[in-house]
Structure 1
Amino acid sequence: MSGTDRQQAILDLLRAETSVETEDLARRFDVTPQTIRRDMAVLVERGLAVRTHGGAQRRASTSTLAYEDRRLRHAREKEAIGRVVADMIPDGSSIMLNIGSTTEQVAQALSNHKDLLVITNNINVVHILRMSEIASLKIAGGSVRPSDGAIIGGDAVAFMDRHKADFAVIGCSSLDADGAILDFDEREVAVARAILRNARQKILVVDRSKFDVDASVRICSLGELDVVVTDGPLPESFLQAAEAAQTRVICTSDPNHTPV
């Protein structure tokens, strides 16, 4: 079991049992107590647990834990997507990023870029990039959603409409086999749409598990995107829709993929 998978399992236990013991976890996962302590340190750093004598207990709210679930699930795939997108963004570019665990991996992969102008409604992106050598980092104003650090609402939409960027990088909660890009929250979707209409190149970052999620609010169609970067083979109907829309699909699992 990888460290990421083990941390996810510890998080699941914290949700179910409130507290856990280091020695018990070491036996459960057949690793050393030192390995478990390192895993716990990661969860503590993310605000999801507090250390106790001999273990840890849950600290985060249920909604925050749910977002951390999304961060940890398919983490390696999201990291690979982030690296591919970062290779597509030259130094000195301007980029808009919305909320999402995969867009945060794009931000992480961009942390060594220079002279970027980054515009976002994602508080986590600000934390990731604030110490990097970027030219400017701008964050929208508006209502903050505590569960994930998204800034949403009319003020955030107006903020995005006052800017123009070379690249938009957005995530989503759901993909439909016919090519629809979907999410749950209309306020979040309104910001994503504003990001798309104010960018010259539009990139969707998404892992293929989103085909298993059913959301109802449409962000856009494939025809409104230039590139989709994903982690593996997609349904044939989706690929056909992308071809008809002249939208490029890049799969990180394909060893022959090349940057746009």
Structure 2
Amino acid sequence: MSQTLRQPEILDLLRRDGRVTVEGLAQHFGVTLQTIRRDLADLAEAGQIERVHGGAVLPSRIANIGYEERRRLHGAAKAAIGQACAALVPQDCSLFLAIGTTTEAVARALRGHRNLLVVTNNVHVAQILLGNRDCTVILSGGAIRRADSGLVGPLTVQTIRQFKFDIAILGCSALDEEGDLLDFDIEEVGVNRAVIEQARRTILVADHSKFQRSAPARIASLRDIGTFVTDRPLAPALAARCRDWGTGVVVTGPAAETPEV
């Protein structure tokens, strides 16, 4: 395969997986390590990737990728995370479900639960749970963000502060090696901080691609989260921090695989 065909596919793999390795790409394309290193050097010089030891990641960004594209990524992992998270939710409780494609997967897994009160700022979540007649759905106020039909802003926070949730289920755009939850939208960060304050227990749902991404705004730390549900094991240092903080970590089926290094 020529360089002009390889490099766009490398970018597609990065958007899908968040990280690529030189050895993995060489095997994928059937070319030498040196050839892949030249491709990565070209892409890095063009500002399309960032080189890291042994491979590359997408560059740090101040804007998230499109919502429909995020929906297509890691669908099986998100479905498994959704099922695992739903298993932690008892019947007869109050929930907050936040914006995100993984929280949508949780909503789909909750359609068989009984006697739920769900508050959400995610129009898609509300639509999914309307199919559960044993679920009362309250859509928060706020301005609708056209990019993803999420509700954000002061009215959203005011709605949230009227409740004390048994469980809040949040996503994030990125999770750094120190255990900080990151996002791109300052208004959404403010909403999620209010949710954490109003919840007796908080669950974070995020697939492994969030480990390789970056975003500019900090929501909270895994220290502030009761349980983290993901699809691959955490790096040893972060896993140790979670143990020290008392943050439970649930790894779903596909996560038996070893994280890429």
Q: TM-score, normalised by structure 2?
A: 0.71
Residues 64 and 147 in structure 1, CA contact (< 8 A), matched pair in contact too: no
CA distance in structure 2 between the partners assigned to 1:142 and 1:149 by the alignment: 11
* Letter in structure 1 aligned against 2:206: V
The one-character-per-residue Cα deviations of 1:197-250 (angstroms, maximum 9, x if unpaired) are 111111000001101111121111111110000001221221122112110111
1:145 matched to 2:132? The reply is no
1:134 deviates by 2.7
1:222 matched to 2:222? The reply is yes
The one-character-per-residue Cα deviations of 1:3-62 (angstroms, maximum 9, x if unpaired) are xxxxxx9xx9xxxxxxxxxxxxxxxxxxxxxxxxxxxxxxxxxxxxxxxxxxxxxxxxxx
1:131 deviates by 2.1
Residues 161 and 198 in structure 2, CA contact (< 8 A), matched pair in contact too: yes
% identical equivalent positions: 41
Residues 129 and 135 in structure 2, CA contact (< 8 A), matched pair in contact too: no
1:235 matched to 2:235? The reply is yes
1:199 matched to 2:194? The reply is no
CA distance in structure 1 between the partners assigned to 2:219 and 2:98 by the alignment: 12
* Letter in structure 1 aligned against 2:199: A
- Quote the residue 1:155 is aligned against: 155
Structure 1: tracts of 5 or more residues without a match: 1-8, 13-62, 256-260
- Quote the residue 1:52 is aligned against: none
- Quote the residue 2:209 is aligned against: 209
The one-character-per-residue Cα deviations of 1:96-115 (angstroms, maximum 9, x if unpaired) are 01000000000000011111
1:133 deviates by 2.1
The one-character-per-residue Cα deviations of 1:144-164 (angstroms, maximum 9, x if unpaired) are 001111100010011101111
Mapping of residues 1-260 of structure 1, within 5 Å:
66-253=66-253
CA distance in structure 2 between the partners assigned to 1:64 and 1:236 by the alignment: 27
Distance 1:245 1:64, change over 3 A: closer
Distance 1:64 1:201, change over 3 A: closer
Q: TM-score, normalised by structure 1?
A: 0.72
- Quote the residue 2:55 is aligned against: none
SS in 1 for 2:229: strand
* Letter in structure 2 aligned against 1:105: A
- The Cα RMSD (Å) is 1.9
Structure 2: tracts of 5 or more residues without a match: 1-8, 13-62, 257-261
Distance 1:239 1:116, change over 3 A: same
CA distance in structure 2 between the partners assigned to 1:237 and 1:213 by the alignment: 18
| More RCO (CA 8 Å, sep 6+) | 2
CA distance in structure 1 between the partners assigned to 2:174 and 2:194 by the alignment: 19
CA distance in structure 2 between the partners assigned to 1:134 and 1:85 by the alignment: 19
1:65 deviates by 8.7
CA distance in structure 2 between the partners assigned to 1:73 and 1:162 by the alignment: 35
* Letter in structure 2 aligned against 1:227: T
* Letter in structure 2 aligned against 1:183: D
1:183 deviates by 0.5
Residues 64 and 146 in structure 1, CA contact (< 8 A), matched pair in contact too: no
- Quote the residue 2:17 is aligned against: none
- Quote the residue 1:46 is aligned against: none
Residues 112 and 133 in structure 1, CA contact (< 8 A), matched pair in contact too: no
